[in-house]
Structure 1
Amino acid sequence: MSTTTTLDRPDRATRTYPAYSTPLWRRVLLTREFAVIALLVAVIFYSNNNVPNFDGPLTFYYLFLDIAPILLIALPMTLVIITGEIDLSVASVVGLSSALVGLLHADAGLSIPVAGLIAILVGALCGAFNGFLVAYVGLPSLAVTIGTLALYRGIAQGLLGTKAITDFPDKWTDLAKERIAEGSSYPMILIPFVVLLVLFAWLLHFSSFGRGVYEIGLNDEAAHFSGVNVERTKFLLFVMAGAVSAFAGIYFTLRFGSARGDNANGMELQVIAAVLLGGVSIFGGRGALHGVVAGVVLIGVISSAMRLQGETVNVINIVIGTLLVLSVISTSLVAAAQQIWARRGRAGGPPSSETGQHRPAVAASESTNER
């Protein structure tokens, strides 16, 4: 009769985690997320000293007003992309939410809170439709959300046509632009954003649900066999994306005081660009929310600084697009460099590593099996 201890089990003996062999400060600071944060600090420092009026009291106020919808939608989008999926319909949900709030308030006479709640429920249903087709039917999310992008946008424009609804109470349009405190550079919309940021950060980084999200992105079949409910996780993420996008649509409508079916047209590309710039892998399995938030703010700061310098929208888009391409290329270059370094390290390693002299755990398991 033989017994096998935990140390003797081959699966435990051969399982290694190279990333954790490096010091903690390197694992925390030498990451793509902190590279984005460092670049953001550098751009802000440069703009404060070289861009006229960038250090004025209104710059960051309007900056956060502009990027608030992107910040909001980027939170669930981060989790969706980490699973290896994508949602291109988020901006169309923003437009649909805007149209619904306008119609329910102006035509049905509902209050803004009630109309907004209905719009959020509809947004969650839109996300549920996406999630059902992706998670349970098994269709590719790219194809599904390209289709629902057109579907939801078409419904929004069909509801309003070419007209815009602008009859909103001043107290609600003023609230969308209200500052946190008198003279503050931070608008009130940052409060619900911070609440959602804490919620999504806990889900992704400090819960078993978040660990399942990463496992799905690395290998959904392995995640399934390890006990992760892959279908339910993906479905819930698309529901979250739809609900948060609808909330962003309500803010967008009240901020500009106009409900239109074409509101936020093209915003989905800005959201995805910011998420990828923030360090999330488009192939899934990697990413962190602090990098995504820094990526969104970085794009906003660059856009704001270039507008203050008188640059056109086309030039700004070229610069941001180039930055995104370089960020994607840099990831591939770093991965290639690490592979080359690892191969050189193995080639120059001691021959005893090949002969098994440094494999006590495996040898122990072999002797146990022989017994």
Structure 2
Amino acid sequence: MPDSLTRAIRWDTVVGALLLVLLLLSFSFVDGFGNALNLSFLIGNTLPIALIALPMTLLVVAGEIDLSVASTAGLSGAVMGKLWNEGMAIETIIPLCLLLGLVCGLVNGLLVTRLGLPSLAVTIGTLAAYRGIAQIVLGSDAVTDFPTQYLDFAAGRIGNTFVPQAFPAFLVLLAVAVVVLHATPFGRSLFAVGASEEAARFAGIRVKRAKLTLFLATGLMASLTGVFWALHYASARYDNATGLELSVVAAVLLGGVDFDGGKGTLGGAIAGVFLLGALQNVMSLLNVSAQSQIVVTGVLLVVSVLGPRVGRQISVARAARRAVSAPPPSLRSPS
């Protein structure tokens, strides 16, 4: 198969094409999909997934994962609501919530890098722990009276367009993440770590430091997402963002990031994020139940893990057939 054709059918390219097809079909056949208000809802509701997907992509490329991100976001929102109720200024609360996210990421990172524990097990444990702390902090209360200008930024649109006010800020973060992963020595080292941690160490890469940095970044972005969630939906509760980790992981893997590490692009991950967000939006417009939407998300998660693996097996089998069918060197005609 020609190299150009191989590149054209890469998994992340396929996901981008599926997103384009879904958008075209939705604009054509789904009532209400194309109006400015719905498109604003689609982007705004997808932004929490997209924000966490940025560091999560780097983390999965390095061969790790963080399933506590939704609980970190919920804890950040709970602390935000608690401190606001106690009269603290919102300008002071937000930096404190971001610092809390760094602490949560530090706990995860130290347990993985210093104690050698698997990130899957560690973050399942902290998923429960951080959510429990959030419930202790805020209880069953819901805090809704945040400053109007912050609510408008998180939920408002730019003029009469469908573009949320927060979307340009996300694009800046996306650009930073793309540069870090695909255009810096640190980003290239993450692919090396994910492909072979032992080989990366022999190459002089400080594996533990790189992974700890990624856990810190993931915790920070999860806490920022918790703040955004509380302002976007005008409600800080301990159970904010419950289940968001499933959507984040499904979207990242759907975008072609290899669960075993070493492969993936941020472009593919973001295409997966918005493919999942658009699909959920369409299902809501078609009155598909929330339970059925969860089933679809789960199926996509399985497909996103299975699809690239099947593709690799097909490529390996094709290469083996070519090697078998090629004539031995002694029988080839001289050049």
Please confirm whether the aligned pair reaches a TM-score higher than 0.5, indicating the same fold: yes
Corresponding residue for residue 15 of structure 1: none
SS of alignment partner, residue 168 of structure 1: coil
1:37 aligns with 2:8: no
Looking at CA atoms only, which structure, 1 or 2, has the larger radius of gyration? Answer: 1
Query: What's the counterpart of residue 17 of structure 1?
Result: none
- Partners of 1:143 and 1:353 in 2: CA distance: 54
The match for 1:189 among 141, 166, 171 is 166
- Structure 2 equivalent of residue 206 of structure 1: 183
- Between 123-132 and 305-314, report the one with greater CA deviation: 305-314
- The answer to whether residue 233 in structure 2 is matched with residue 241 in structure 1 is no
Judged with a 3 Å threshold, the aligned counterparts in structure 2 of structure 1 residues 353 and 90 are, in CA distance, closer, same or farther, namely: farther
Equivalent positions of 1:1-371 (< 5 A) are 23=3, 25-26=4-5, 28-107=7-86, 109-179=87-157, 181-352=158-329
- Residues 354 and 212 of structure 1: CA distance in aligned 2, closer, same or farther (over 3 Å): farther
* 1:296-343 C-alpha deviation (Å, 9 max, x unpaired): 100111111111112111222233332332333222221121111111
Shift of 1:26: 4.0
**Structure 1 segments of 4 or more deviating over 6 A?**
none
Separation in 2 of the partners of 1:246 and 1:65?
Answer: 17
SS at match of 2:291: helix
Secondary structure of 1:350's partner?
coil
Tell me how far 1:216 sits from its aligned partner: 0.6
Cα distance, 1:354 vs. partner? 10
Amino acid at match of 1:189: A
- Give unmatched runs, 5+ long, in structure 2: none
One-letter amino acid of the counterpart of residue 139, structure 2:
G
One-letter identity of the residue aligned with 2:19? L
How far apart, CA to CA, are the structure 2 residues paired with 1:84 and 1:237? 11
Give the total of aligned pairs: 334
Find the aligned partners of 1:207 and 1:49 in 2 and give their Cα distance.
41
RMSD: 1.9
What letter matches 1:122 in structure 2? L
Structure 1 unaligned runs (5+)?
1-20, 359-371
Residue identity opposite 1:287 in structure 2: G
Counterpart residue identity of residue 172, structure 2:
V
CA distance in 2, matches of 1:257, 1:208: 40
User: How much does 1:228 deviate?
Assistant: 0.6
Structure 2 counterpart SS, 1:86: coil
Distance 2:258 2:330 in 1: 33
* Alpha-carbon distance in 2 for matches of 1:228, 1:326: 33
Once the two structures are overlaid, the 10-residue window that deviates more, 271-280 or 336-345, is: 336-345
Q: Aligned AA for 1:120? A: L
Residue 106 of structure 1 contacts residue 167 of structure 1 at CA under 8 Å; is this kept in 2?
no
- Alpha-carbon shift at residue 29 of structure 1 (Å): 2.8
How far did residue 28 of structure 1 move? 4.5
Q: Distance in 2 between matches of 1:323 and 1:137?
A: 33
Does 38-47 or 55-64 show the bigger shift? 55-64
Q: Is the 8 A contact 1:214 1:284 kept in 2?
A: yes
Of 34-43 and 342-351, the range deviating more from structure 2:
342-351
CA distance in structure 1 between the partners assigned to 2:73 and 2:296 by the alignment? 26
Is contact 1:96-1:153 (8 Å) kept? yes
The offset of 1:277, in angstroms, is 0.4
Change (3 A) 1:348 1:116: same
Percent of residue pairs identical: 42
Matched residue SS, 1:84: coil
Distance 2:129 2:294 in 1: 27
Name the aligned partner's letter for residue 45 of structure 1.
L
Alignment correspondent of 1:368: none
**How far, CA to CA, are the matches of 2:33 and 2:15 in structure 1?**
20
